[in-house]
Amino acid sequence: MDNHLDHMPVLSRGRHRNPKRGACFMELASYLAGERWSDHPACTHPLLAALARLVNDNTGDESRAELVGLVPSIIGLAGDDLRVDAHIALRCATTALPVAAAERQLALAVSVLAAEEMLARLDGAPSGRMSEMSLRAMEQVPHAAEQARRFSRAAKITEKGFRRYAAPNAVQLAVVGIVQACVKDPDKLLRGLLEDAIADCEALIRGPRSAEPAPVAPASPARA
């Protein structure tokens, strides 16, 4: 497919037949990656791509242009490590849980516990391990947190079920929860969520960035 254009596609909601009609976040990523035009390109982890599509479609028209700068950073973040799914789901659920309406808090708290349980299982750590990020989020909704713990003790999830259902549901619930929350600037919160998820995936997939070596000072000329 010839993706040559006289100008860059403009970000807008939904899918687009070709670049001349506009682009969603992931369609623009496929264009920049040199892939076939698609909102499901191979260059990005499927769950991260799903989050990017949801953020794109639920961000206001005036704020959506600010997402363009994030597109290059999502290219190349691909792989099949289930830890990536778990970290994305955890980031989404912990971000949305403190601001979501009461009726959504239980499902989000369950998502937090499911992601933490999956990460503990994958790491060979004891069940019930919780990150500081999760503890802070759960402390802000104690009633929902206690209900979620009682529910999760009786519910068991497989790795396949987590990848296919639990993790995508956490992402969907989080974005909807943020959009419908009584917060001053949901677009800013959505953008921050996507930025944090991209950073999480970059650390997992590419590893932490190594510090640049300090410049070596030129040797002093030897004295006679």
* H-type alpha helices, the chain: 25-32, 46-58, 61-64, 71-74, 82-96, 102-123, 132-139, 142-154, 159-161, 167-179, 186-205
Calculate what percentage of the chain has a pLDDT beyond 90. Answer: 73
- Note whether residue 86 is domain-resident: yes
Which of the pair, 153 or 215, is modelled with greater confidence? 153
Q: Is the dihedral of CA 89, 90, 96, 100 positive or negative?
A: positive
Q: Which of 72, 79, 81, 85 is nearest to 30 (CA)?
A: 72
How many folded domains does the chain comprise? 2
Q: Are residues 95 and 199 in the same domain?
A: yes
User: How many whole angstroms separate alpha carbon 23 and alpha carbon 18?
Assistant: 8
Residues 190 and 103 grouped into a single domain: yes
Mean confidence (pLDDT) of the chain: 88
121: which residues sit within 8 A by CB, 6+ positions away?
127, 159
33, 51: one domain: yes
- Residues paired with residue 11 on neighbouring β-strands, in sequence order: 23
Cβ burial, residue 33 (10 Å; 0-12/13-18/19+): middle
* CA gap 28, 43 in Å, rounded: 12
CB 129 within 8 A of CB 120: yes
What confidence tens digit (pLDDT) does each residue in 23-67 have? 889 999 999 999 998 999 999 999 999 999 999 999 998 899 999
Domain that holds residue 189: 82-205
Residue with the larger pLDDT of the pair 93 and 10: 93
Domain assignment present for residue 55? The answer is yes
**Inside any domain, residue 217:** no
**92 in a domain, yes or no?**
yes
Confidence of residue 14 (pLDDT cuts 50, 70, 90): low
